[in-house]
Amino acid sequence: MAEATSLEALASGLKRQAHSLGFDPVGIAAVAAGERMRLRSAALERWLQAGHQADMGWMADPRRRQIEALLPGCRSLLAVGLSYYVRAERQPGTLAVARYGWGRDYHRLIEGRLRRLGRWLEEQWPTARWRACVDSAPLMDKAWAEEAGLGWIGKHGNLIHRQRGSWLLLGHLLTSLELPPDRAASPLCGSCNRCIPACPTGAIVEPFVVDSRRCIAFHTIENRDPELPAAIAAGMGPWVAGCDICQEACPWNQQPLASSEDPDLQPRPWLLELRAEQAQLWSDAEWDERLRASALRRIKPWMWRRNLRAARPDPA
């Protein structure tokens, strides 16, 4: 009983520490999860069998469905969300970049803060083992965040929080400690399907199923072909790096949202005033400088030029 009480106090302290680092929402899930996680694993398997992962072979990593392979003896995890919504808009007539890429590389931000949480946890409970994970780790991050109560997975495949909408970056701190879990989130999309017809390339082939082969975000970031498929180029509009269309259509993102004040998430000005005629002239070295410490470095300079050739800015 004393140890259970101590673990409850530890869980509360861990959440407070997470909030102090800018994470909100936060929640805890037990790794010995129930039917929901089994259903999520089965859905992932069906998604892979249908080929919806396109060239993203890493999505089939078996560790994605075996969390204990990431941390042997893992018994629970802390899921955290970091809102990247900033009340700023690109200039009229410019090209569009997904909001997640406006600030500094979120992989580094979240992993660094999670490591601080892990060290704090180890100081409080020296026998605790832990591992920090961002979305580069083979983990069903949205499913585990849902299990920890952060929000529910929407029909566009993104996690939605009541007050934060779907503008959330996710991270997880796996631990060998059996911390008391929070209640899993309940889905609240209801009969709403606004995100599905909003996609100009039909990537949301049915509710909760996104086909990467039709997705503008996949093609602008992951596709390494010299030219984009004709159907993608015809439908991408102003988007040259990722795409936020399905999220912008979501009613949960159309409510008044708090704008992040985190200095690491504020937009680089050039991303809000990007014009093809200027950017096409940038050298590889100039691209390297502009993308320093950015998650958008995954898009190589030649890919930016390819995307810029295909994109069409909205009328000014």
Regarding whether 206 and 157 lie in a shared domain, the answer is no
For the segment 82-96, what is each residue's pLDDT rounded down to a tens digit?
999 999 999 999 999
Task: Place 1 in a pLDDT band, splitting at 50, 70 and 90.
Answer: very low
The per-residue pLDDT for 4 is 55
Residue 2 has pLDDT above 70, yes or no: no
| Joined tokens for residue 260 | 């992040």
pLDDT at 28 over 90: yes
- Residue recorded with tokens 């995307």: 307
68 plus 213 within the same structural domain:
no
* Average pLDDT score over residue span 194-201: 98
Domain tally, the chain? 2
251 lies in some domain: yes
* Residues 94-109: tens digit of each pLDDT: 999 999 999 999 999 9
Could you tell me if 203 and 257 lie in one domain? yes
| Active site members | 135
Range of the domain at 45: 2-84+104-175
235 and 144, same structural domain? Answer: no
Q: Which amino acid is at 275?
A: R
pLDDT tens profile 210-226:
999 999 999 999 999 99
Mean pLDDT rounded to a whole number for the chain: 96
Specify the pTM.
Answer: 0.95
Q: Does residue 33 carry a pLDDT above 90?
A: no
Residues 57 and 128 in one domain: yes
Radius of gyration of the chain, Cα coordinates, nearest whole angstrom:
20
pLDDT tens digits, 133-170: 999 899 999 999 999 999 999 999 999 999 999 999 99
pLDDT by residue (tens digit) across 111-121?
Answer: 999 999 999 99
Strand locations in the chain, DSSP E? 26-30, 76-83, 96-97, 130-133, 152-153, 159-160, 168-175, 204-206, 209-210, 239-241
What pLDDT, on a 0 to 100 scale, did the predictor assign at position 107? 96
Q: Give the model's pLDDT for residue 34.
A: 79
- Pick from 256, 33, 245: which is nearest to 146 by CA? 33
What is the average per-residue pLDDT within 16-30? Answer: 98
Pair 140, 284 in one domain? no
**Is the domain of 10 the same as that of 150?**
yes
